[in-house]
Structure 1
Amino acid sequence: MCLVKDCWHVWRGVNMKAGESSGLQVRNLSVTFGRGRKAFQVIEDLSFDIAAGETLGLVGESGSGKSMTAAALMGLLPWGGRVSSGSVRLGETEMTRLSNAALRAVRGREIGMIFQNPLSSLNPSLTIVQQIAEPYCLYCGASISAARTHALKLLKEVGVPDAEKRLDDYPHQFSGGMRQRVMIAMALACNPRLLIADEPTTALDVINQAQILRLIQRLQKEQGMAVIFITHDLSLVAEYAHKVMVLYAGKTVEQGSAEDFFQAPRHPYSQALLNAIPRLMSVGKRLTDIDGLPPRPQEFPRGCRFAERCPAMTPECLTAYPERTGTDAHHFFCIHPVGGAA
């Protein structure tokens, strides 16, 4: 109970004022693991904005830094990791300067997150209704009965069958797909200003996947919620994202509107990702892949990190990381962009 009271007290202190900007602004965010000579960066100089009501699609191969970026925004970095530089502003609140208690007050209320693995994210010793109702009681001041009603409503919205009967079940009594729905309900419980959806529909079939994403889209329109959508499925990005940021080995390689990204990608890595999408007209043909593997964080090169796998690589690509090229609306980091120099 002391923790709940402390969180409520801190939450009142960091609560945003009415009319305050609810967008997210990230500038030069870097994440470092280790200390001294053994320190290495896994995320370096990320900058992006998400306005209220916008969806940013965060894409890239496994290990590119997508989930680590989300963890840094939430203040949930693994042991040994820290935000070594940069700014993360949600409205007028500088997240990197908040104490742990203040961060706990913001998580769940201002920022909701759908984690990749619901089995390890749900508490096995608490019922489903307890896990959904707790943040609603804590941050919204609801009674236990009102929170239970709210939890039932959310479970129905995310498509849990027999929701009323399943409120008092435990996570192990749910399938993987049902646990994913519970995670989504928890993330949306307090109508957050920012929702970070890390592979939110991985365990769902195509029909239910569309149902969940449309629910998020509807709530986004109704509440002006900003969304970071992390996924490997570029078809979903094309349908639901307003903007796209492509990560490779912990750095941004391209960023712009979804329309620009899909119609005119400028970075060779972006083009390679798009070429790897299976197409109906290519039945019987070998799928396009990207040769090689991304570098490990301890072995990031000084130059372009994609150079060793890039068909357009020249010796100058290995000497320094490319400068930003393009406009604020669509920019990239490449010496030899697709389509020629800007």
Structure 2
Amino acid sequence: MQNFQDARPSSAGAGLRVRDLTVTFGRGRKTFNVIEDLNFEVAAGETLGLVGESGSGKSMTAAALMGLLPWGGKVSKGSVQLGETDITRLTNAALRTARGREIGMIFQNPLSSLNPSLTIVQQIAEPYRLYFGASPTAAREHALSLLQEVGVPDASQRLDDYPHQFSGGMRQRVMIAMALACKPRLLIADEPTTALDVINQAQILRLIQRLQKEQGMAVIFITHDLSLVAEYAQKVMVLYAGKTVEQGPAEAFFTAPRHPYSQALLHAIPRLVNSEERLTDIDGLPPRPQEFPVGCRFAERCPAMTPECLTAYPPRSGDDHHFYCIHPVGGAA
């Protein structure tokens, strides 16, 4: 099967560049960071797999990139550069335009993300009319074309249906059509195949792959499923408790992980080639944002922990494939 790795970047300078991104909640002495000092890039036509346990900060990172942080949250430091535009410096009006025109997002739960009181055609056509000044007729034709593109059967008959009249897989396809309506430069896919059967999952991911290649989009693929990351991403970033622990080319990550947390995640993947191999889990739970430690945030759950792990966050080691650990898998860099 063709995969995202076949879609090579078409323009290395036209994608996303994030520097020192920090997201803070609370006020005064009760402030705390949920995301700290994230640095990564996604070139045009490239896919970054963003992985980690629930609560690691994946969806919060996506919300920060979209300017959709929950009440009380703010980007307190850093920049999010899309092409030549710093999204964190935009006014609210300009940010609303950027969301629909430059950045598309596929949310985890399409039923809760779609407006139940609007028809499918209204929800897909609205951004196209708003940002391109299209007539109602042209916008309807564009919505029909998109529904056909994402594989909705009898699309012309389903335009005026409501979200509750679609199955879960079809709602997911509608979400993809909405996200791609204005041909964004960046697509954020947050668990786009959660709760879908494997057939629909493969169809949706192949669809995103094809459209990405045709349009040269940068894609951030957020998922718990490392097997999908191995198949569809060129780069991987592992988050733990709001910090990057490892980042680099997908091949290097899967063949030679350096951080103990990354290794633990990989050891939890079932393998058909060795059905007798026992899966391992990670004892304990990630710390709460209000209780993030000074040192390595994975230390309390790490079998390689030593006292020095608790005194300061580890420095970066490595270049293209880098990690933050003083006792890395495979020895010091």
Band of TM-score, shorter chain: over 0.9
Retained in 1: the 8 A contact 2:169–2:200?
Answer: no
> What is the match of residue 339 of structure 1?
330
Equivalent in the alignment of 2:116? 124
Contact kept, 8 Å, 2:12 with 2:44, in 1: the verdict is no
Q: Which amino acid aligns with 2:24?
A: T
Matching residue of 1:245: 237
Secondary structure of the structure 2 residue equivalent to 1:44: strand
State the distance in 2 between where 1:275 and 1:20 align: 33
RMSD of aligned residue pairs (Cα, Å):
1.4
Map of 2:308 onto structure 1: 316
* Deviation readout 1:203-242 (Å, 9 max, x if unpaired): 3221221111111111111111100000011111111101
What SS does the aligned partner of 2:97 have? Answer: helix
Report what 2:185 is aligned to.
193
Secondary structure, in 3 states, of the residue corresponding to 1:51?
Answer: strand
Determine which of 146, 153, 168 is the counterpart of 1:161: 153
CA distance in 1, matches of 2:217, 2:162: 29
Verify the 8 A CA contact 2:235 2:250 in the aligned structure 1: yes
Q: Indicate if the aligned counterparts of 1:21 and 1:92 stay in contact, CA closer than 8 A.
A: no
2:222 equivalent in structure 1: 230
Give SS of 2:24's match: strand
Over the matched positions of the two proteins, sequence identity in percent amounts to 86
Q: 1:20 to 1:145 in 2, by over 3 A?
A: farther
Structure 2 residue identity aligned to 1:317: C
The separation in 1 between residues aligned to 2:277 and 2:214, in whole angstroms, is 44
Q: How many equivalent residue pairs?
A: 323
What is the alpha-carbon distance in structure 2 between the residues aligned to residue 212 and residue 281 of structure 1? 27
Counterpart Cα distance in 1 of 2:13 and 2:131: 20
Native 8 Å contact 1:180 1:203 kept in 2 = no
Moved more, 207-216 or 311-320: 207-216
Mapped to 2, the partners of 1:20 and 1:126 lie a distance apart of 39
Corresponding letter in the other structure for 1:253: V
Structure 1 stretches (4+) deviating beyond 4 angstroms?
none
Q: Which runs of 5+ in 1 are unaligned?
A: 1-18
User: Which of 77, 80, 97 matches 1:85?
Assistant: 77
1:89-118 deviations in whole A, cap 9, x for unaligned?
A: 111111111111110011111000001111
Which secondary structure state, in structure 1, belongs to the residue aligned with residue 78 of structure 2?
strand
Work out whether residues 49 and 221 of structure 2, in 8 Å CA contact, stay in contact via their aligned partners in 1: yes
Work out which of the residue numbers 283, 289, 300 in structure 1 matches 2:281.
289
Q: Residue 252 of structure 2 aligns with which residue?
A: 260
Larger deviation: 124-133 or 152-161? 152-161
Cα separation, 2, equivalents of 1:122 and 1:313: 45
The equivalent residue for 2:37 is 45
Give 5+ residue unaligned stretches, structure 2: 1-10
> Which amino acid in the other structure matches residue 298 of structure 2?
F
Report what 2:200 is aligned to. 208
Contact 1:133 1:150 in 2 (8 A): yes
- What letter corresponds to residue 152 of structure 1 in structure 2? L
> Match of 1:177, SS?
helix
Alpha-carbon separation, structure 2, partners of 1:152 and 1:177: 18
TM-score between the two structures when normalised by the length of structure 1 = 0.92
Match of 2:138 among 117, 121, 146: 146
User: Are 2:124 and 2:181, in contact at CA under 8 Å, matched by a contact in 1?
Assistant: yes
- Look up the SS of the partner of 2:328 in the other structure: coil
Deviation at 1:324, TM superposition (A): 0.4
Q: Letter of the aligned partner of 1:79 in structure 2?
A: W
- Check conservation: 2:261, 2:298, Cα contact below 8 A: yes
Equivalence for 1:177:
169
Whole-Å Cα distance in 2 between the matches of residues 251 and 105 of structure 1? 29
Per-residue deviation, 1:22: 2.5
Deviations 1:131-188 (A, max 9, x none): 0011111112322222212211221222222221111011121222221111111001
